[in-house]
Amino acid sequence: MTLASRMKELITLERYDDVKEDWFLIDAPASCWAELTSLGQEQYRFAVRYRDDLRSAKDAEPALRLLWKDRTLDVIDITETVPRVEVQLLAKGRQIDYDNLETGARRKASWP
C-alpha cells in the first residue's frame, strides 16, 4: 500500500465520450494525488487512493487518459491492488514509429 506522503504527483483524469466525440473530466474529483513509478518505454504506474469508478480495465473504456505535468498519457490498465484502499493505473505515452528516409533507420517520436 502506498503511503500518502509518497503521493506527490497531481494527475487529472479524462474520459472520451463517443457521442460528443470529445474528452471530458471524469466525475469529481477529476484530479488526485498519485505515487509515480517509471517503468521505462514511456510507461508509468500511478498509485492512487481507491475510487469506486476505477477498479478494473473495463473502467477505462471506451478510452481514459491522464494529464500529468505537461504530458498526456493513455491509461491502458487499472488494477485494484488493495481492495477499497488503492488503485493502480498503468499509463503509456503516445509514440509514433517512423522511418528516416535518408538513412533508412526506424525511429520513435513521442506525441504530442
Q: Output the tens digit of pLDDT for each of the chain's 112 residues.
A: 677 889 999 999 999 999 999 999 998 899 999 999 999 989 999 999 999 899 999 998 889 999 999 999 999 999 999 999 999 999 999 877 767 767 777 666 666 6
pLDDT at 95: 73
Closest CA to 69 of 28, 23, 26, 34: 34
CATH code of 106's domain: 2.40.10
Total tally of structural domains belonging to the chain: 1
Query: Mapping DSSP to helix (H, G, I), strand (E, B) and coil, where does residue 79 land?
Result: strand
Domain holding 30, by residue range, is 4-111
**C-alpha span between 74 and 59 (Å, rounded):** 13
pTM: 0.82
